[in-house]
Chains A and B, each alone.
Chain A
Amino acid sequence: MPVIEVTHLKKRYGDLVAVDDVSLSVEAGEIFGVLGPNGAGKTTTVECVAGLRVPDGGGVSVLGLDPRRDAAQLRQRVGVQLQESQLPDRLRVAEALELYASFYRNPADPAELIDKLGLGEKRNTAYKKLSGGQKQRLSIALALVGNPEIAILDELTTGLDPQARRDTWGLIEQVRDSGVTIVLVTHFMEEAERLCDRVAVIDRGRVVALDSPAGLVSTVAPEQRIRFRPSAPVDDRLLTDLPEVSAVQRTGSQVVVTGTGELLHAVTSVLARHQIVAADLRLEQSTLDDAFVELTGHRPAN
Chain B
Amino acid sequence: MHAFRNILRTEARLYLRDLPTLLTTIGLPTVILVVLGLIPSLRKPDPTFDGQTFVSYFAPSLLVVTLAMVGVNILPAVLATYRERGVLRRLATTPAHPAALLAAQLVLALAGILASALLLIVVARLAFGVPLPRHPLGFTLAFILGTAALLSLGLLVAAVARTTKAAQALAVPLFLVTMFFGGVYLPRFLLPDFVARIGDYTPPGVQALLDAWTGTPPQPLHLGIMAVIAVAAGAGAAKLFRWE
- Residues on A lying within 8 angstroms of B by beta carbon are 50, 52, 72, 75-76, 78-80, 82, 84-88, 90-91, 95, 99-100, 102-104, 142, 146
Contact = CB atoms under 8 A, between A and B. Distances in A.
Nearest to B86: A85
A72 B97 CA distance: 10
A199 B164 CA distance: 38
A281 B37 CA distance: 92
Interface string B83-114: 00111011011111000000000000000000
- Where chain B touches its partner, the secondary structure class is helix
B87 A88 contact: yes
A135 B181 CA distance: 45
A86 B95 contact: no
B216 interface: no
Contacts of B86: 82, 84-86
Contacts of A76: 95
B93 A91 contact: no
Contact of A95 (B3, B13, B96): B13
Given A91-B10, A102-B6, A80 B93 contact: yes
Contacts of A102: 2-3, 6
B95 A90 contact: no
Interface of B: 2-3, 6-7, 10, 13-14, 17-18, 82, 85-87, 89-90, 92-96
Contact of B82 (A79, A84, A88, A99): A88
Contact of B87 (A79, A87, A95): A87
Given A87-B87, A90-B14, A100 B94 contact: yes
Contacts of A79: 93
A75 B85 contact: no
5 contacts: A85-B90, A87-B87, A90-B14, A91-B10, A102-B3
Nearest to A85: B86
| Most chain B beta-carbon contacts within 10 A, residue among A75, A87, A88, A91 | A88
Given A82-B86, A102-B3, A103-B3, A88 B95 contact: no
- Where chain A touches its partner, the secondary structure class is loop
B17 A82 contact: no
Contact of A90 (B2, B7, B18, B85): B18
A82 B89 contact: yes
Contacts of B2: 102
Contact of A75 (B7, B89, B93): B93
A82 B90 contact: yes
Nearest to B244: A52
Contacts of A82: 86, 89-90, 93
Contacts of B14: 88, 90-91
A160 B241 CA distance: 33
Contacts of B92: 52
A11 to B, nearest CB: 15
A75 B94 contact: yes
Nearest to B18: A90
Given A90-B14, A95-B13, A99-B10, A85 B87 contact: yes
Given A99-B6, A99-B7, A102-B6, A86 B85 contact: yes
Enumerate the 6 nearest inter-chain pairs by beta-carbon distance, A residue then B residue, closest first: A85-B86, A80-B93, A86-B85, A85-B90, A103-B96, A75-B95
B35 to A, nearest CB: 31
Contacts of B7: 99
Nearest to A95: B10
Contacts of A104: 94-95
Given A86-B86, A88-B82, 13 more contacts: A72-B95, A76-B95, A80-B93, A86-B85, A87-B87, A90-B14, A90-B17, A99-B6, A99-B10, A100-B94, A103-B95, A103-B96, A104-B95
Nearest to B6: A102
A50 to B, nearest CB: 6
Nearest to B14: A90
B88 to A, nearest CB: 9
B34 to A, nearest CB: 30
Contacts of A75: 93-95
Contacts of A78: 93
Contacts of A91: 10, 14
Nearest to B90: A85
A90 B94 CA distance: 21
A100 B90 CA distance: 10
A52 B95 contact: no
Nearest to B15: A90
